[in-house]
Amino acid sequence: MKQLQDKVAIVTGAGRGIGRAIALAYAAEGAKVAVVSRTPSTVEAVAKEINDAGGTAIGIACDVGKRDEVFGAVETTVQAFGTVHIVVNNAQGFGTESDPQPSTVFVAMEDTNEDEWEYTFRTGATASLWFMKAAFPHMKAQGYGKIINFASSSGQTGFPGNTCYNATKEAIRALTRTAANEWGQYGINVNVINPALETRAFEKWKTARPEFVQALVEKIPMRRLGDPERDGGPLAVFLASPGSDYITGQTFLLEGGMHTFA
């Protein structure tokens, strides 16, 4: 029996990178997957990749910064597959709504752009809350749910020049702990992954700040950034599987040992 046989999963930001890797891993373990991202062509491509491999997936174009689209994505999933068991909140916007960026842009705290603050929060912590609220009635009714949110050790350490991103990622961790405390009684597990994986954002950082990325890799005991499929997918499968049924409210550092917080 596959670990996620007949489970229904929603994975956001699944058009590329970590989200795509998780969607593929879930499908390989038997889950029916809603591939959610903002660009229709990418979600359709990933859904097709899953279906062509013998899995089951649908693509849903959704801007996670828009509440109606978030609730609509959950409803579309339920209409297609009957319910939702797993939600992975991986999507995160950067920059501003009028000028989105592929990754964070380092700015001193006193120069924080408040439009960037609002957009980063809306596509991060607020979007995670929306997906959780939309999925909750289905999870509560069946007495089972797995929610995996994404944060960052950048927020835990207060990394300089990353005010908006740090704040929304720590808000996501607080949201996760609160949901874990309130929803555990309904059989719903809520956990966080803090990744240091080779992603589109890291590629942009390599171009813009190669010395920073090199120093980061040298700080990692394993001397490499993680790979989304090799390293990200398996952890996300575990946190969505029965093996994690007694784990909730925790932050998992998928960083090759870069940080060892007490």
- Give Cα 14 to chain centroid, integer Å: 9
CA–CA distance, 46 with 12 (Å, rounded to integer)? 12
* Inter-residue contact 85 to 74 (CB < 8 Å): no
Element (H, E) at 94: strand 94-95
Structure tokens of 144?
Answer: 């089972």
What are the distances in angstroms from CA 101 to CA 1, 122, 204? 42, 15, 10
Q: What is the pLDDT of residue 232?
A: 96
Q: What is the pLDDT of residue 103?
A: 86
CA–CA distance, 128 with 130 (Å, rounded to integer)? 5
Is-catalytic flag, 144? no
Helix (H, G, I), strand (E, B) or coil at 180: helix
CA–CA distance, 18 with 250 (Å, rounded to integer)? 19
What would be the CATH architecture of the domain defined by 8-253?
Answer: 3-Layer(aba) Sandwich (3.40)
pLDDT at 19 over 80: yes
What is the average pLDDT across 85-92?
98
Element (H, E) at 219: helix 210-219
CA–CA distance, 169 with 225 (Å, rounded to integer)? 20
- Per-residue pLDDT tens digits for 129-176: 999 999 999 999 999 999 999 999 999 999 999 999 999 999 999 999
Q: How confident is the model at residue 262 (pLDDT cuts 50, 70, 90)?
A: low
Average pLDDT, the chain: 95
pLDDT at 83 over 80: yes
- Give the max Cα distance, the chain: 54
- Minimal CA–CA distance to 115: which of 130, 132, 101, 95? 95
26, 119, 165, 186: the catalytic one is: 165
